Amino acid sequence: MSELNWEDLRDTDFCVMKTLAERMDTYIAGMVEQAEVLTEDVASKHLSTDHYEGDTADAVRDQVGYVADSFQDDLSIYVNVKIKATLEDAHKELAAAQQDLEELLGNIEAGKFAITGPADDHRVELSEDLLYDISELNPPSLLLSRTRFTEADLNADTGRHLVATELNHAAEDLADAFGQALTAIMTRAHEAESEAVSVLKSILDEPAAQPPPLGATYDDLIDDYQEAADDRNVDFLNELTSGDSEATPNGVNEWWNDLDQDERDALLEEYPGLLGPLDGLPAEVRNDANHVNLHNEIDSIEQQLAEMDATLDEYPYGGSFDEQEYLSLQNQLENLNSLQDRLETGEENGEDLYLLDFDSAVDGQAVVSVGNPDTADHTAVYVPGTTSDLEGIGGLVDDAAVIQGDDNDWGPAGEETAVVMWLGYDASDSAYPTHNDKINPEAWSASYAEDAREDLYNFVEGIDASHEGESHTTLMGHSCGSSVVGATARDYQVAADQIVDFGNPGLMVDTADSLSGGADSVWSTRADGDAITTAAGLSYPLGIDPVAPEFGGQTFDSEAIGDGGCSIHSGYLKDDKGADPNIAREHMVDIITGQKQ
Amino acid sequence: MAGAEVFSMEPDKVYDAVEALFGVEVAIRSAGDELLGECESTAEALTSGHCAIGDALDSAANFWCGGQAARLATLVGNLGEYLATAAEQTVEIDEYTSDDFARYADHELFPGRAAEQGSARPDW
């Protein structure tokens, strides 16, 4: 249980972590220079074969190489990945949480609310001053804006008791919302703290082997060391992908960058299955690995089906033939072929597609980027909603391509945008109340979003880590994909500058303040007649309607494109019926490319 | 390492290597000590704010600076001592004796640096 309370979060100077991380860059550079002294000055120059020959000379040169390699590997994994990158990540998360806290405390003070309990109690209460102001019908503007009243109502001679009562209720609601926002901020801070502690403590688990010292037992020990050293990158990769490692995507990126090209090529050739889904690796590496994985999986399933066909030919009335398995494999193959077809089709504008992850199990998942997110000036990560699956991958990538094409066509000249279609989760299958004879449809359940949030958070951290230079990232959600975005930004300090949601039932919170980027970073729209409006009014468990004023986020206009509620719900990215451009898409371009803040 | 068919050595060049190795050994240790001090003061600042990262950072820094990096520095020093003896004896390693190490890799030959690398000696 963390002892960090909101007063600690407010008062601690987390910049010391950033300063130390920068200091570590200098340290690492200095130590790499020392390793180079070993390999270049000592082994290649002073102890070259021109000056020193014999068995001892060979052994010493080898030992110099082992020591230098071991030192560089240790510097990379321990100092760069596990300490420095962890401090950078923790600083980023905690500094952002601190900034959100400062804004929240400012609002609490401006609204004349108070936190009177101990610092680990997040309840916000109405101050004596506020109660007095309400009784005098002189509320702070922040409170008045959350009621239906105007300044004129406050000065009217009649109905003053009614106004005071409603102001009091609004104040209590606002106090609850502030309390929830404070809890959300502290949850994110504690998550960041806990993650950093796990990584730093993991260093102590099992120190990496070092070369044995030259001496009587050297010959007995050096072979074991060589074997361990050869397997070290593979071992670390296995650790990263097994879930045992606490290294962050930023740490993964640092580790990959520290490898030389031969080491990277060897890992890519031998272990594409481990590299493909690894958050923090460059998009091109993941794409290369995942194309190999996709090809291999299609081959494997085709072979399994062929073997089952042969079994059926031999035993037409059964035998060991498993029809369920056969149908499941057929379904997987069709889905994978859909994915491959869409990748091969490519984009009319010549933009490259990057396969950043996929999984053929059950409904299937895939993450495909239109444009390279590592080099783009702006990146949007688009999370689709209910009924999204691998079978419909073509349409989902088409949607991402529409957003990407708009950004490049209408965005600032010379600036590139990449749009990632992130179906890295199991989306609900239906929004209809009668689905599977359930009263509540799947889409109204919080579990789909909550199961997806950690993966989405890590993915966005990964593209942030692998981005070349400063990144500008927007997290987008359509329909229940917005709930995934909301749950992620509620529980993590997600590496996105802003959130865009459209046709959205709720962002899993009651105020935009509760999301990691703060209220001003949240942009919502819903067209008139959108069928999702029914769910948006329910509040629980998906949160308050994000386009309602009391939610506190920003909104942008959209037109109803389509006939009927369901059609309108799916119409946000379609072309307008008339000659005018789709107004929602224009707004999205402005937000994604940083023109609207 | 036995069975050499060719053996040649330029002692001056080997001494250059020894000096470089001892220089690296010192550089690793002093940079580690400096970094450890900075990590400890950062850890202290975090711990005083009840942030658990402070203690974890302190442990990690001690593991690295006082453990893993220090052992690597020792290995580099070990190599230096070996070579110092090799340069003086101009023979293969198998022909060293512990007396050679005591004689050739000590602080008389390399002032300011004690020959503490007992593990480098043939009888270790």
Parent domain of A63? 6-99+204-255
pLDDT on residue A319: 65
List the single best residue of A25, A26, A50, A60 to mutate versus B (max B Cβ within 10 A).
A60
Q: What is the pLDDT of residues A378-433, one digit of tens each?
A: 999 999 988 888 989 999 999 999 999 999 889 999 999 999 999 999 887 766 55
| A354 token code pair | 């990057």
Omega before A541 within 30 of 0, i.e. cis: yes
Give the separation between CA A469 and CA A178, rounded to whole angstroms.
36
Per the structure, how many domains does chain B have?
A: 1
Q: What would the DSSP string read from start to end of A285-310?
A: HHHHHHHHHHHHHHHHHHHHHHHHHH
- Tokens 């002032």: give the residue: B111
Q: How far is A84 from chain B (nearest CA, A)?
A: 10
Which of A255, A271, A297 is the last residue before a domain boundary? A255
Task: Please indicate if any CB of chain A lies within 8 Å of the CB of B63.
Answer: yes
**Contacts of residue A34 in chain B, CB cutoff 8 Å?**
24, 27-28
Any idea which of A535-544, A563-572, B111-120 has the lowest mean pLDDT? B111-120
Helix axes A55-74, A218-230, angle to 10 degrees: 40
**Amino acid letter, A426:** D
Q: How confident is the model at residue B4 (pLDDT cuts 50, 70, 90)?
A: very low
List the single best residue of A3, A4, A11, A16 to mutate versus B (max B Cβ within 10 A).
A16
Q: What is the pLDDT of residues A535-566, one digit of tens each?
A: 766 656 788 899 998 888 999 999 998 888 88
pLDDT on residue B2: 43
**Pair (A221, A290) in one structural domain:** no
8 A C-beta contact, residue A508 and residue A486 = yes
Of A3, A8, A16, the CB nearest to B42: A16
Give the separation between CA A8 and CA A6, rounded to whole angstroms.
5
Give the separation between CA B124 and CA B118, rounded to whole angstroms.
7
List the single best residue of B5, B72, B123 to mutate versus A (max A Cβ within 10 A).
B72
Average pLDDT over residues A78-103: 93
- Does the pLDDT at position A91 exceed 60? yes
Q: How confident is the model at residue A503 (pLDDT cuts 50, 70, 90)?
A: very high
Q: Indicate which CATH number applies to the domain containing A364.
A: 3.40.50.1820
Q: What is the pLDDT of residues B20-43, one digit of tens each?
A: 999 999 999 999 999 999 999 999
Considering the entire predicted model, what is its pTM?
Answer: 0.79
Is residue A73 helix, strand or coil?
A: helix
Give the separation between CA A457 and CA A518, rounded to whole angstroms.
17
Q: How confident is the model at residue A90 (pLDDT cuts 50, 70, 90)?
A: very high
Question: Chains A and B: how many Cβ contacts under 8 Å?
Answer: 185
**Pair (A213, A318) in one structural domain:** no
**Contacts of residue B3 in chain A, CB cutoff 8 Å?**
55
**Pair (A234, A340) in one structural domain:** no
pLDDT on residue A350: 84
pLDDT on residue A221: 82
- Per the CB < 8 Å rule, is B52 touching A4? yes
Shortest CA distance from B65: residue in chain A: A79
Of B49, B56, B123, the CB nearest to A216: B123
Q: How far is B113 from chain A (nearest CA, A)?
A: 19
Q: How confident is the model at residue B101 (pLDDT cuts 50, 70, 90)?
A: low
Give the separation between CA A301 and CA A298, rounded to whole angstroms.
5
Judge whether A436 lies within some domain.
Answer: yes
**Contacts of residue A38 in chain B, CB cutoff 8 Å?**
20-21, 24, 76
pLDDT on residue B97: 54
Give the separation between CA A49 and CA A289, rounded to whole angstroms.
41
Judge whether B98 lies within some domain.
Answer: yes
**Pair (A556, A432) in one structural domain:** yes
Judge whether A440 lies within some domain.
Answer: yes
**Pair (A250, A292) in one structural domain:** no
Of A70, A193, A215, the CB nearest to B52: A193
The dihedral formed by the CA atoms of A56, A59, A64 and A65, expressed in degrees to the nearest 10: 150
- Per the CB < 8 Å rule, is B45 touching A16? yes
Shortest CA distance from A201: residue in chain B: B56
Task: Please indicate if any CB of chain A lies within 8 Å of the CB of B75.
Answer: yes
Is residue A593 helix, strand or coil?
A: coil
Q: What are phi and psi of A418, to 5 degrees?
A: -115, 140
**Pair (A251, A360) in one structural domain:** no
% of chain A with per-residue pLDDT over 70: 94
The CA–CA distances, whole Å, from A524 to A12, A45, A382, A445, A477 equal 34, 65, 14, 21, 10
Judge whether A435 lies within some domain.
Answer: yes
Residue bearing the bigger pLDDT, A311 or A495: A495
Judge whether A307 lies within some domain.
Answer: yes
Of A17, A51, A82, the CB nearest to B13: A51
Judge whether B34 lies within some domain.
Answer: yes
- Per the CB < 8 Å rule, is B63 touching A214? no
Any idea which of A351-355, A393-397, A568-572, B82-86 has the lowest mean pLDDT? B82-86
Give the separation between CA B28 and CA A487, rounded to whole angstroms.
46
Q: How far is A22 from chain B (nearest CA, A)?
A: 12
List the single best residue of B16, B28, B46 to mutate versus A (max A Cβ within 10 A).
B46
- Tokens 């004879």: give the residue: A437
| A584 token code pair | 């929602």
Task: Please indicate if any CB of chain A lies within 8 Å of the CB of B6.
Answer: yes
Q: How confident is the model at residue A44 (pLDDT cuts 50, 70, 90)?
A: very high
Q: How confident is the model at residue B96 (pLDDT cuts 50, 70, 90)?
A: low
**Pair (A287, A248) in one structural domain:** no
**Pair (A229, A328) in one structural domain:** no
Is residue A534 helix, strand or coil?
A: helix
Task: Please indicate if any CB of chain A lies within 8 Å of the CB of B107.
Answer: no
Spatial CB neighbours of B81, under 8 Å, sequence gap ≥ 6? B101, B105, B115, B117, B120
**Amino acid letter, A450:** E
Spatial CB neighbours of A177, under 8 Å, sequence gap ≥ 6? A510, A511, A513, A514
- Does the pLDDT at position A579 exceed 50? yes
Average pLDDT over residues B42-48: 96
Q: Give the torsion sign (CA, A345, A348, A352, A353).
A: negative
Judge whether A320 lies within some domain.
Answer: yes
Q: How far is A131 from chain B (nearest CA, A)?
A: 34
Helix H segments across A75-111?
85-110
Judge whether B20 lies within some domain.
Answer: yes
List the single best residue of A3, A20, A88, A120 to mutate versus B (max B Cβ within 10 A).
A20
pLDDT on residue A14: 96
Any idea which of A55-59, A368-372, A471-475, A495-499 has the lowest mean pLDDT? A55-59
**Pairing mode of beta strands A125-126, A353-359:** unpaired
Of A17, A59, A204, the CB nearest to B1: A59
- Per the CB < 8 Å rule, is A204 touching B59? yes
Give the separation between CA A528 and CA A569, rounded to whole angstroms.
9
- Per the CB < 8 Å rule, is A216 touching B45? no
Judge whether A225 lies within some domain.
Answer: yes
Average pLDDT over residues A498-515: 91
Average pLDDT over residues A222-248: 81
Q: Please choose, from the candidates A28, A48, A25, A45, the residue with its C-alpha nearest in 3D space to the C-alpha of residue A37.
A: A45
**Distance from the first to the final alpha carbon of chain A:** 38
Average pLDDT, chain A: 89
Q: What would the DSSP string read from start to end of A265-281?
A: HHHHHH-HHHHTT-TTS
What single-letter DSSP state applies at residue A556?
Answer: -
Judge whether B4 lies within some domain.
Answer: no
- Does the pLDDT at position B107 exceed 50? no
Of B7, B51, B68, the CB nearest to A4: B51
Helix/strand number for chain B, H first, E second = 4, 1
**Pairing mode of beta strands B8-9, A554-555:** unpaired
Give the separation between CA A69 and CA A15, rounded to whole angstroms.
33
Sheet strands side by side (includes A554-555): A353-359, A365-370, A417-423, A378-383, A473-478, A498-502, A522-525, A554-555
Q: Is B40 left (phi over 0), alpha (psi -120 to 50) or beta?
A: alpha
**Pairing mode of beta strands A365-370, A353-359:** antiparallel
| A335 token code pair | 């889905």
- The beta strands (E) that lie in A371-507 are given as 378-383, 417-423, 473-478, 498-502
- Per the CB < 8 Å rule, is B60 touching A16? no
Spatial CB neighbours of A236, under 8 Å, sequence gap ≥ 6? A77, A245, A255
Q: How far is B103 from chain A (nearest CA, A)?
A: 17
Task: Please indicate if any CB of chain A lies within 8 Å of the CB of B97.
Answer: no
Per the structure, how many domains does chain A have?
A: 2
Q: How far is A312 from chain B (nearest CA, A)?
A: 60
Shortest CA distance from B31: residue in chain A: A27
Parent domain of B95? 12-114
pLDDT on residue A29: 95
Judge whether A37 lies within some domain.
Answer: yes
